[in-house]
Amino acid sequence: MSYRLLKEECHAANLALPRTGLVYLTFGNVSVADPERRVFAIKPSGVDYGRLSPNDMVVIDYEGRVIEGALRPSSDTPTHRRLFLSFPGIRAIVHTHSRNAVAFAQAGRGIPCMGTTHCDYFHGAVPVTRALSPEEIAGDYEWETGGVIVERFAGAKLNPLECPAVLVRNHGPFTWGASGERAVEAAMALEIVADMARRTLELNPEAAPVPPTLLDKHFFRKHGAGAYYGQPGRH
C-alpha cells in the first residue's frame, strides 16, 4: 500500500510553513490524514525544514503505530492524533509558535473577533484552552494537550469546521483544514487576525467585537451551502 501522495502533500505543506514566516528554527509541524485508511503523515521531530524530503515524512495510524518512516515523528504527534480522532471532517493540522497567536495563548486570552478579516476565516472568537493540570503535564502530555482542545470545543459547543483554530494556554496555536494547503492558510490567517486584534486592543482596550449579523454575513458568504465568494469549484 503506497502512501506516496499523502507524504508528498504533507511535505509540501511543511515546506510552506517557513515561507509564511510563521515558524522559526525547527518549531512547528504539519500533518495530513487519509481518514479512509485511518492514517496520517507528519513531519519528523527536530529536522530542519531545508533538509526535509517526502520520504522523511512519518506515517502513523490512528492507533498511534508507526506504519512507515525511519525517523522519529514530531513530538506533537499524539496531539494531532487526538484531533483527527475527535474532529471528523478535518484532513490536516498545523502547529506553529507564531508570535502574536502565542502572545494571546500566553496571556490566557482567546482572540476576539474584532473585524471582517477575522469573520472571513473564523466564525467567532478563536478560543483558548484551560491550562493543563500538573497531572496532565506529568502524564501523557501531548495526548492531554489534544484533550484540552477537544474539551474546550465540546464545552462551548464549538464547531471545529467553523472555527478551524485554537490556542493552547501557555503554548500556542493549532489550526486545521480540508488539506495541507488550507490548514497552512488557516495558520496564516490566525496570525494576521491575532496581530490585528492586538493592535486594536492597544488603541482601544474597550473595543467591542463585531455584531453577530456582520459576523454571519462575512463567514457564510465564504463558507457553507450558500457561499458566493470566489469562483465555483475553486478553493
Active-site residues, by number, are 120, 229
User: Which of 162, 130, 166, 135 is CA-nearest to residue 148?
Assistant: 130
Q: Edge-to-edge strands of the sheet including 58-61? A: 66-68, 58-61, 39-42, 29-34, 92-95, 172-177, 165-168
Query: Beta 39-42 vs 29-34: how paired, if at all?
Result: antiparallel
What are the angstrom distances between the C-alpha of 62 and each of 30, 68, 81, 86, 196?
16, 13, 6, 11, 37
User: Which of 34, 26, 28, 27 is CA-nearest to residue 8?
Assistant: 34
